[in-house]
Amino acid sequence: MSQSETPSRAFTLSLIAGSLILVNTTLLGVAATWFPGIIPTLPGSSGNDITMLYQLTAMGLIFGMLVVLGAVLINRSPEHTKVWGVLVIVFSLASVLTGGGFIVGFILGIIGGASALLRKPKTQAISD
């Protein structure tokens, strides 16, 4: 694996993860609005509170957008790839609260963020 492949792979996996998290969360919001009866009862509640489902939807959309932002920044700002990799991992982990992008998004986010963390910065040759 060459150094030029790693940011591309980290970017691609993180972008797919963020997209899956956004799709999963959007479907949660749609189900909460039009089909609240199909969502399993949330733990700790006597029934599904629509307000709680909307709060989960809002949180999931924020998590998904931050994962997508991290992916874009991995691609645009390779000198800070480790910071963006941590961003992707943290918000992929947090997305589990809202479904984790069908769990596949969660897993791809962890792999993409780890790929960004493992990337070695390019070394510049000193010319005389």
| Residue 122 confidence class, pLDDT cut points 50, 70, 90 | low
pLDDT tens-digit series, residues 59-114: 999 999 999 999 999 999 988 999 999 999 999 999 999 999 999 999 999 999 99
Whole-angstrom distance, CA of residue 75 vs CA of residue 25: 25
Task: Give the Å distances, CA to CA, from 6 to 2, 64, 77, 78, 87.
Answer: 7, 22, 14, 10, 17
* Mean pLDDT across 120-125: 62
Note the pLDDT of residue 46: 61
Note the pLDDT of residue 5: 47
Note the pLDDT of residue 71: 97
Note the pLDDT of residue 6: 47
